[in-house]
Amino acid sequence: MQLIVEGRFNLASIRMGADKNPSILFFKLATLYHAYSNIHHHLSDIGMIGVIFAIAMEKYSATLNMTVDNQGAALQLSHFQKWRQQRVKYLKERE
């Protein structure tokens, strides 16, 4: 039980600064997801998606909402990872 509480606390403590690359957010989420994947009540995709919406900057909200609308009930964390990869590619092209 303590590991579940600790995992959820760590998940809730993730932050994203206004000038931060979204990849950093996903690296933090992946680290927590894998750290707690071996417990019975591991961190769920829904919990991870909730964190993304809670801390992502306003400038990403339209894209995040579009991802949700396109995927509907089939929404998974991997759909947001694809969005992140596209965003990183876009940022690299602008450099």
The predicted pLDDT at position 87 comes to 73
pTM over 0.85: no
Q: Closest by alpha carbon to 2, among 34, 37, 28, 41? A: 41
- When the pLDDT of each residue in the chain is averaged and rounded to a whole number, the result is 78
pLDDT beyond 80 at 73 = yes
What are the boundaries of each domain within the chain? 2-94
Q: Which two tokens stand for residue 54?
A: 């809670």
pLDDT class of 65 with cuts at 50, 70, 90: confident
The predicted pLDDT at position 1 comes to 64
Average pLDDT score over residue span 43-67: 79
pLDDT class of 40 with cuts at 50, 70, 90: low
